[in-house]
Amino acid sequence: MQQLVIIRGIPGSGKSTMARVKYPNHVHIEADMYFEDRDGNYRFDRTKLPNAHEWCQRMVKANLNKKYNVVVANTFIKYWEMKPYLEMANKLQIPVKIETAKGNYESVHNVPKEVIERMKNSFENSPQT
């Protein structure tokens, strides 16, 4: 049965690793992928963050429409940030599993500690985590 898995958590919590290790047969998509060049170099640009999330949603939808299992791993600090994914899965009648990554690793994207702390303090629990 087709599935959408949403992995959420603060930077450095292990979202990407969880997606790759726990769901190796799912198409893995993250907004951060938008900032990678063809050589895999990461070049974050805060001004393009809305574009990255739109791209991520389009990629998830396209892969769900192709009948692939998909795992999307983003911070999803606020529950409403998952809403577009929940709505697309609901429309396509695809079950959704929400998981929270809770590891404590260094952020691979060098997110400042004060930003991580702010995200940690405003993290909303979701019904399925």
Give pLDDT tens digits for 77-108: 999 999 999 999 999 999 999 999 998 777 67
Stretch 13-31: mean pLDDT: 97
Is residue 128, in this structure, part of any structural domain at all? no
Residue 113's pLDDT band, with cuts at 50, 70 and 90, is: confident
Q: What is the per-residue pLDDT for 127?
A: 58
Is residue 59, in this structure, part of any structural domain at all? yes
Output the CA–CA distances (angstroms, integers) from residue 9 to 25, 68, 94, in the order listed: 21, 24, 22
CATH number, domain containing residue 92: 3.40.50.300
pLDDT tens track for 31-74? 999 999 888 888 989 899 999 999 999 999 999 999 999 999 99
Number of structural domains the chain divides into: 1
The residue to which tokens 């805060």 are assigned? 46
Give the separation between CA 36 and CA 22, rounded to whole angstroms: 23
Is the pTM above the cut of 0.75? yes
Compute φ and ψ for 27, nearest 5 degrees.
Answer: -75, 125
